[in-house]
Structure 1
Amino acid sequence: MKKWLFALVVVMMSVTVLTACGGNNNAQSGNTNNQGTDSTEKIKLEFLSLKQEQASQAAFKEIIKRFESANTNITVDLQSMNADQLKTTLRARAASDEMPDLVTWMKEIDPEYLLDLKGESYLSNLNAESIEAANALYNDEVYAMPIDNGYIGFYYNKTVLADNNLEVPTTLTEMKQVAEALKAKGIPAFATGSKDLSVAYMPLIALFSETVFGRNVNWSAERDAGDVSIATDESWKLAFDLHKDYVYGYSDTNASFNIGYDDANAMLAQGKAAFYGNGSWALEPIRQVGPDADIGLMAFPISDNPEESKLLVFPDTSLSIMKDSKNADAAKKFLEFVASQEAGEIWSENAKVSSTVNGVNVDYDPIAADINQYISSGQFTPYGDRVLRSVFTDKLWEDFSKYMLDRTDWDTLAKDLDAAWDRAKEVEASGQ
């Protein structure tokens, strides 16, 4: 795995680094049960979170409030930021040897900076399959504690379809017919754009999860063994073609570079587009715009066989403790509370996602029924970009839009992606 933190430490040591107040207290000792502690030692846990959505922040704040009321000597300082900000902050903090105590897990964080949670008793409160999937990148360690199961699929506005006498498409032929019918009426079939490339990137993840891993769960292992390649596998090309020809091709291409994340959420909620490819995190902002909008969730039909349509369902939000935390015991106590049914219900009700805590079943939104249907029928895959090496996904993110916008051809892109796959494998093997 790419050790980007380690590689930048030497560079960062040579410049002036601004550091935030970190774990500046001695480690807490004593038991780590969920009944609170009588210790008078004041401990401050610094928690860097990737969850910027209002509902997710509110959920964390409520969880922290209840935790602090039971552990009066511990306070939790929640700091929300985006992925780039978190990477930059951790690089600087590694250089100054002032790492935070808790973070929302990212696969780009090298394991040498994370605390192995294997054997912690509170993990038994969580769905074992979710824990295994969240730590699929590692050997036998547990660095990430998943607190919810997310998804990436295609939201659809039922009212838009009904008003235009259209049915929810279950095959690729039907999707073509629906998209053409909407186009004839001047309605973008898909809400997407290029102002914020994540709006376009998310549906591509859903698509290659279906076309590649939905058809062959062993594809990565076979690629490492040299038995398959992106250049020769039609499943990868299919994902990129569906993305270019449908998700982008039937969107408002004239306004593409003026449409960002908030705009796309609003388009779907307000019925200005029929479909929108994104993840579980988009549900809350969609509901903010259209609380009563009649929204469903579906997997994109990748062929004329409806059974090939599989929803990407995976552990989403996970928490990690930094190995150099000066307050590791207190941080474990916090994770123990997060893994409780009380905290699980708070998170699920507010963030509108399914909890990994055993026994927590919150009917957080009507689309929960759609998700459960895919899961119960076995029409889902847990393999998306999070089980791929960072060097490869960095290249994927860098180049995917070139194909979408006809700035490169498939042979060139596939060759570059295969080269990136090989580099990623070499980097992991060398321990760089």
Structure 2
Amino acid sequence: MQTKKMIAYTSTLLVSLALVLGGCGNSGGNGAGTAPDTSTDTPKNNEQNKNASEESDKPVTLTAFLFNMDKRQALEETFKKFTEENPNITVDLLVNDQDYYTVLKTKIASNDMPDIVMGEYGDLLELGQAGHILDLAGDTYINNFSEQIRSQMTTPDGNVYGIPLDISGMGIYYNKDLFKQAGIDSFPKTQSEMLAAIDKLKANNITPFGLAVADGWTLAHSLFTTIAGTSDDVKSLAEEAKTGKPIASDRLTAGFKTLDMMYGNADPQAASNNYNASLSLLAQGKVAMLQQGYWAYSSIMDINPDVNLGFGAIPYSDNADETRLGVNINVSYAIAAKSAHQEAAKKLFDWLTTKEGNAIANNNMKQIPVIEGAEVTSNPIADDILSYVNAQKVVPWSQVLMNGSTRVEAESIMQSYFFKKKSADEVISEIAASWAKK
């Protein structure tokens, strides 16, 4: 049995992340490096404090609308712990992992927006600029984040529309035992090595990849990692894409060879598999590899706690120096501008960004904390991700710089690519056109 050990999110890790992720979603650090003015000496703020005090004495139920179904139980346990310490505040979860943004827009249009919502940077920027969620930049708990992490949260105008709970990685899970059975000594660092590994697996009657084509977002993620993994500056690429400039490049086109390897060497039921089915295939040793994010780890281990997994960066060329792992702050949580329970929601956010609260959340979710000093139980996948971070071999995610509609459109685009109804050039052109939409 593996001895449990603790990892703490430290300054060294933060600096390493800053070197490669610095400025993602922030054009100049506006509002990121200076503590916000939190003065409460005005009559208006005094009145707000009085109202907040009165509200704190009354039972409050917060509704949180989320899309991470596989983290539902973990978040419920986390919120229960918060309620133990704050008996007047409970949190009810509403989860939709299929058409989240469509449903959210419907709720907004019908004036039925939940108290708390979640989203990537681009989604929250869009919601914030439309006035649907609060700017949290002036809240004191924002200073619980390091300067480097705040730079990932802050818009060019100095606004902060949401708080992340963790950092996460996107790469390829691989079954170490199946690799050993096929005579593969280490995870491939180049496309040629990946092809050779696939051939060895097939020669030993081992299915190389699992896929979840029925859940188009999983294929969309394979496009997003390809875009990021073939770019030297994802942030600049995103800014250019938003102005209508093409994103096509020889490196990006060459990167599609990796997608072809994954798509062309998947299990026979790939076309009908959903997300959960793909996790089961990996956990049960029926496939050797699966592209997914770190968020999937707890669900995989729930299926088979004895599976022996590693986590590697996806190679998109034959230059091993270009192979980097996608690492970023994960999805963020925001407060509705029309919420009747804003102070209670902010109390929850305050708790989630303490070392204690963030450690509880991430131990439950089995994620990597975003708050410096928060300690969680380590595991082999977290260790693999942190090894890339410490080696400064990581790249930001491209999808966090897109809006929700572009990510949704990417799902059907990539399903068409899987079924060979679109070429790589068509995919690149269509996702660029969607990215440029206002």
Q: CA deviation at 1:331?
A: 1.2
Q: CA deviation at 1:325?
A: 0.9
- Number of residue pairs the alignment of both structures matches: 386
Coordinate RMSD, CA, aligned: 2.6
Q: What is the letter of the counterpart of residue 241 of structure 1?
A: K
2:262 to 225, 238, 247: 247
1:350 and 2:364 aligned = yes
Q: What is the letter of the counterpart of residue 251 of structure 1?
A: A
Q: State how 1:18-417 maps to structure 2 within 5 Å.
A: 29-30=49-50, 39-53=56-70, 56-82=71-97, 84-85=99-100, 87-88=102-103, 90-106=104-120, 107-108=122-123, 110-111=127-128, 112-135=131-154, 139-168=157-186, 169-212=188-231, 214=232, 217-224=235-242, 229-231=246-248, 233-243=249-259, 245-252=260-267, 254-417=268-431
* Compared CA separation, residues 79 and 421, structure 1 to 2 (3 A): closer
Task: Report SS of the residue matched to 1:115.
Answer: coil
- Normalization by structure 1: what TM-score? 0.82
* Compared CA separation, residues 189 and 102, structure 1 to 2 (3 A): same
Q: What is the letter of the counterpart of residue 80 of structure 2?
A: K
Q: CA deviation at 1:345?
A: 1.2
Q: CA deviation at 1:103?
A: 1.7
Task: Report if the CA contact (8 A) 2:294-2:381 is conserved.
Answer: no
Task: Report if the CA contact (8 A) 1:130-1:146 is conserved.
Answer: no
Q: Percentage identity across aligned positions?
A: 27
Q: CA deviation at 1:223?
A: 4.1
Q: CA deviation at 1:413?
A: 3.5
Deviation readout 1:314-351 (Å, 9 max, x if unpaired):
11132110011111112111111111112111111111
Aligned equivalents of 2:414, 2:101: Cα separation in 1: 24
Aligned equivalents of 2:389, 2:269: Cα separation in 1: 36
Aligned equivalents of 1:164, 1:310: Cα separation in 2: 25
Question: Which blocks of at least 5 consecutive residues in structure 1 are unaligned?
Answer: 1-26, 428-432
Task: Report SS of the residue matched to 1:268.
Answer: helix
Aligned equivalents of 1:236, 1:314: Cα separation in 2: 21
- Normalization by structure 2: what TM-score? 0.80
Q: CA deviation at 1:68?
A: 2.3
Question: Which blocks of at least 5 consecutive residues in structure 2 are unaligned?
Answer: 1-46
* Compared CA separation, residues 179 and 119, structure 1 to 2 (3 A): same
Aligned equivalents of 1:260, 1:96: Cα separation in 2: 31
Task: Report if the CA contact (8 A) 1:131-1:146 is conserved.
Answer: no
Task: Report if the CA contact (8 A) 2:216-2:414 is conserved.
Answer: no
Task: Report SS of the residue matched to 2:348.
Answer: helix
Aligned equivalents of 2:91, 2:274: Cα separation in 1: 33
Task: Report if the CA contact (8 A) 2:78-2:364 is conserved.
Answer: no
Aligned equivalents of 2:331, 2:427: Cα separation in 1: 31
Q: CA deviation at 1:398?
A: 2.5
Task: Report SS of the residue matched to 1:256.
Answer: coil
Task: Report SS of the residue matched to 1:48.
Answer: strand
